[in-house]
Structure 1
Amino acid sequence: MRRLLSLLTVLALALGVLSALSPAGAAAQPSAPWVSAQVVAGGSVTVSLDWDYAGSGRYEILVSSAGPDVYPADAISKRMPAGPTHVDVPGLAPGTTYCYAVTLDGRGGPRSCKVTPPVSRAVVPTGTSTTAATFNLGCGSKSNCNGGWKWKKRQKQVVADIDRMNSDIMVFVEAHLAHKYGKKKRWIGKAMAQRGYTLACLTQKNKKRKLYSQTLYVRASVYDVVDAKRNSKGSRFKMFGDRNHGFCRALLQHRASGKQIAVAATHLRNGNADGTRHQETSYVLNQVTGAFPGRPTIVLGDFNSHRGLDRRGQSDAPGQVMAGAGFADASDIAAQLTYPYLNSAHAYKVDPPQSSTWPTHVDRIFVSAGITVPRWDNIAVLNGSKYATPMASDHNPIRATLYIP
């Protein structure tokens, strides 16, 4: 009994300390800020930061610089007053990773980090503006899908997300079931045709069964598909020991401007396979640029890799390969961003997975030199702070508005 009383006394004292500290700690904990806008002008970048309101008081933003995707251990390089939910930070160097933290009355919250756009990607409107989107529909095989959230039960949600995407160029990854199974009126091909789209290319699993692993659709009123028969021959990555992933390519001609644009729909190896993704990315890049040299090029889909540190210790080989060829991730260079801190792949988690070093998106849109990006959107459907249910897939659609030179 004496021992029990002693334990209860210790517990009471501990709870007393916690109750005294918790309200102040909770009030002094702003969320990690996110970059909602970034403007390149005069050789420098101004970044707009937003965060959740944490109470009244004196807000400051702390800025530090670091190497690519590395949490900084260096001293604060910039400190400035901020509003309760927003601040604009001018005078940042282009093409540099910065980390940001918000303080409230001197008490700081968690950091977030992002690279700034290079000067060459300052947004320049052109005569050819277009939108491109990618959406992993999930459940790449009948057995896997039927073991969980069956395709026939989520067709309506997928079609609703297609309407939210509303893009001139649309890529669907793991689209097997979307074409082969389910009510015919809900097949993706039929849904796209009803909305004025035409199939530009597809990846076939084999010659006998067209399983449509990756598909690329374009709005017929905006684009003509050049040499559609040749474009429709997709390829799997079986040369890399990977039979479940692949790509297809297409050459498009913008009806209004006459501009020709090369596009590749891509799905790379998942898991702990950075070396394989490096090979697959190089192959896709060589195939699309070799077939359509000199054209502005968009490569989009599920790369199973991202810039953030929390991706299985991998080095983001796809991003490195694309950057080496002069391509940029649209989320790196976009002037406006929506939900950039929410992972595009969420595994049906109702609490949205978030990242502090980002963009941490496996669903990506890469654009060749000269293309600029006024807007990038993670098309997440939220109900308060949670994802709205039922969800269409274990991925969110990703969309970018592009200015083609």
Structure 2
Amino acid sequence: MIHSFRLSARAITVFSALAITGLAPGLPAPAHAADGQPVPVQPRWKPEHRPKGLVGPARPVKAEKARKKRKVRRQPVEVRRPRVRLDVGGPEGPLVPGRSYDWPYSITNLGPRTAEGVFFRTPVPGGLEYVSGQGNCSMQGPYVVCAVGSLQQHQTHTGVITTRVSEHATPASTVQGSVEVKWTGGTTTGSFPATSISQASDLVVTANGPGQVQAGHQITYTFTVENRGPSAATGVTVNAPGTSTQTPVTVVGGQNCAAQGDQGVVCTLGTVGAHTSKTFTVVFKATPKATPGAIFVRRFEVVSSTPDLHPDDNYATVRPTVIRYLPTRDRDEFDDEFPDRPRPRPMPRAPRDEAPREEAPAPAPEAPAPAPRTAVEALPETGSDTQSRVDLALALLGTGLVLVGVAARRRRASSGRTGRL
């Protein structure tokens, strides 16, 4: 049997049988020795003269090629299905109650086939309220559902969900929503970035004070800062920016207040607890040369390091008007303000005549009767100044009548002398 041939098992078997029976061409029948043992047969040709069609050298197989063939055989057949990738994002930093935030997302089809019936679904976390959604989005029970439809190969769908933080959300609580994307034959999940609810307060400032200030005088305003919650406000300050132009009224000082450049002022209050308030005062002064009628306007703003829910009510405006000195002001108030002012001397009061008695003689009929003294007594009590003026007027009237009579007698006397001549 020749084992150097590279033939199949069937060819080797047939060739061996022919060699045994002596029917193979070119091979003699097996010879037997005298003792009956077979004699080895020598080939009639040399190895280099062997037929090329029947015998060939064995070729070694490389190890790398063998491993590759085994890998190819072991690799399973891949099913051609769509592959969907989900990417989500969220706002940075704590969420302030009362404000709205956007939550973006994108869906990409990476697979070789079209993804059919794709939709996006996420629940609304506690403390948030659904506002709107970009695309075909709506609230369905506790979930926000956005219908995407079909996604072709390497196609991307983007969207944004807008939510509002409730004013009653618990401060420092964690907010994170799960996300689910489904399509025909597959599902993928994810979650939005985790964040938290920030501390928040609601500060309100009011000012109370007179609406007028006299030139050269001072007025005091009382400010009240109230925190309506829900959290305490830290680093609270009330400030009024200065102006480069000269104003008729300036800030002299105040409680816990410090002057700033260009006539500005900053009042420090520190921490104002939830549902509590603090008050302070600010003193204003009108310059001595302030023009009467000028209006001084100064806006005060309250700020804090804690986010404010309603910043629109963080302002209070002071608007005093400059006026002249009021002479009709109460004398006691005037004397208290100027104690060293010299007091004017009161005018002497003329004695009042008593009522005429019944036995008094009647006035002469030829002369006009003077006004009765009872008329003077009937005048209202208006003070010593008015009475003195009335008495002086009556005296001047009487003197005038006397002078008129004297002049008349002199004219008559002079006319009589001229007639005699």
TM-score (norm 2): 0.22
**Structure exhibiting the larger radius of gyration computed from Cα positions:** 2
TM-score (norm 1): 0.23
Higher relative contact order (CA 8 A, sep 6+): 1
Please state which structure has a larger fraction of its residues in helix: 1
